[in-house]
Structure 1
Amino acid sequence: MACRISEIVVEARDPERLAAFWAEVLGYVVIGREGNAVEIGPPDTGFGGPQPTLVFDRTNDAPRVKLPLHLDVNPTDRDQEDELARLLAIGARHADVGQTGDESWYVLADPEGNEFCLLRRRIDPVSQRARGPR
């Protein structure tokens, strides 16, 4: 037997705002709210599907140190430049982590400053078949 990642929990100063941003980035929807937390996941699948859900839970801790983990995302229906423009339009911003400018990826930050990378390679979205029964 093995484990599978089912949820990724992110502490957020504004869980609703961060959930809305990441839902737009990933094509996810809000699947639940509990207390101060907002959970987003794939439409029609939600928790337990092939992709992990994201839970944004309120924290009042400030200032926050850099997270020891970041997400990488790949475009699924457009090229990297078009996806970069989309991400910037919905609230991402460029982040400087010492890049040289020769990288094949972009380092970005979400509305609360959490870094993530937009990779160049286009990948297929998770298909309906891979999502399993509903």
Structure 2
Amino acid sequence: MACRISELIIDAADPERLAVFWSEVLGYVEVGREDDGSIEIGPPGVGFGGPQPTLILSPSTDPRPAKLRLHIDVNPTDRDQDAELERLLALGARPADVGQDGTENWHVLTDPEGNEFCLLHARIAPV
């Protein structure tokens, strides 16, 4: 027996803003809200328990201490990497320098709150 990732929780100063950003990036929709201000987003028509993990944007006022020890990687599904990079930048992603040497075939970006994620090169089929 094994486990699989069902949810990823991201602390957010503005959960609404990050929910909108990540929903656009991943093609997700809002699947739930909690009284504490948390917003859960996931694949349309599936939500929690489907083949892809949902994201929970959880309100937090804690300052981010340093570079995250865990980050999300995303792959384009319906366009090449350059076109997807353009789309992500238009949504509010920003390039980030975490020590790349320029030979990588991925782009390091941050979401609107500065959380790092990578746009990988390979185009994969949508789930």
TM-score range relative to shorter protein:
over 0.9
Letter in structure 2 aligned against 1:25: V
Whole-Å separation in 2 of the counterparts to 1:55 and 1:63: 17
The residue that corresponds to 1:110 in the other structure is 111
Question: Is structure 2 residue 125 aligned with structure 1 residue 124?
Answer: yes
State the SS of the aligned residue for 1:83. helix
CA-CA distance at 1:64 after TM superposition:
3.4
The residue that corresponds to 2:91 in the other structure is 90
- Of residues 60-69 and 35-44 in structure 1, the stretch that sits farther from structure 2 once superposed is 60-69
Whole-Å separation in 1 of the counterparts to 2:64 and 2:70: 17
The residue that corresponds to 1:26 in the other structure is 26
CA-CA distance at 1:38 after TM superposition:
0.3
Whole-Å separation in 1 of the counterparts to 2:20 and 2:48: 17
Whole-Å separation in 1 of the counterparts to 2:68 and 2:103: 24
Letter in structure 1 aligned against 2:118: C
Deviations 1:55-98 (A, max 9, x none): 00000112433221001100000000000000000000000011
Question: Is structure 2 residue 30 aligned with structure 1 residue 59?
Answer: no
List structure 1 runs of 4+ shifted beyond 4 angstroms. none
Letter in structure 1 aligned against 2:43: P
The residue that corresponds to 1:10 in the other structure is 10
Question: Is structure 2 residue 84 aligned with structure 1 residue 100?
Answer: no
The residue that corresponds to 1:81 in the other structure is 82
1:35-46 correspondence to structure 2 within 5 Å = 35=35, 36-46=37-47
Root mean square deviation, CA, Å: 0.8
CA-CA distance at 1:44 after TM superposition:
0.4
Are the structure 2 counterparts of residues 70 and 63 from structure 1 closer, same or farther at C-alpha, using a change threshold of 3 Å?
A: closer
Letter in structure 2 aligned against 1:118: L
> Structure 2: which 5+ runs fail to align?
none
Whole-Å separation in 1 of the counterparts to 2:101 and 2:32: 41
> Structure 1: which 5+ runs fail to align?
127-134
- Of residues 9-18 and 57-66 in structure 1, the stretch that sits farther from structure 2 once superposed is 57-66
How high is the TM-score relative to the length of structure 1? 0.91
